[in-house]
Amino acid sequence: MRGLVVTVLLALALGGCRNRTKEAVEKVDHDAEAISKASGAVSQVIRNSTDCAAAKPLIPEAYQRIEEARKVVDAPATQETLNALKAQVDRIAQACP
């Protein structure tokens, strides 16, 4: 009986660790997806940076995607990534007034 109790407690403890790990992995995946959407919009702006007429209409969407991502990501590193993406769009926005 004692062995059964220990086994059940051990299973519960390990199950709790797995849930936390699973939640962390899901959060990273969610953050990566949000950053990917923002990065895609920024990439469109960058690709068209030599043609201001093509780049200018893409800039508002890039800013919007960056701000949407800011609302759903937590990790400090992801915020820094979003800051870098915004800086790229800022440079192109200044070059194409």
Q: What is the pTM of this model?
A: 0.70
Helix (H, G, I), strand (E, B) or coil at 7: helix
Give, as one character, the DSSP assignment of residue 57: G
Instruction: Pick the closest to residue 49 from 82, 97, 95 (CA basis).
Output: 95
Counting every residue written for the chain, the total comes to 97
The whole-angstrom separation of Cα 32 and Cα 81 is 11
- Give the model confidence (pLDDT) of 6-54 as tens digits: 454 455 555 555 566 666 555 666 777 888 888 899 999 999 999 999 9
The whole-angstrom separation of Cα 72 and Cα 54 is 29
Residue pair 29/76 in contact (Cβ under 8 Å)? The answer is no
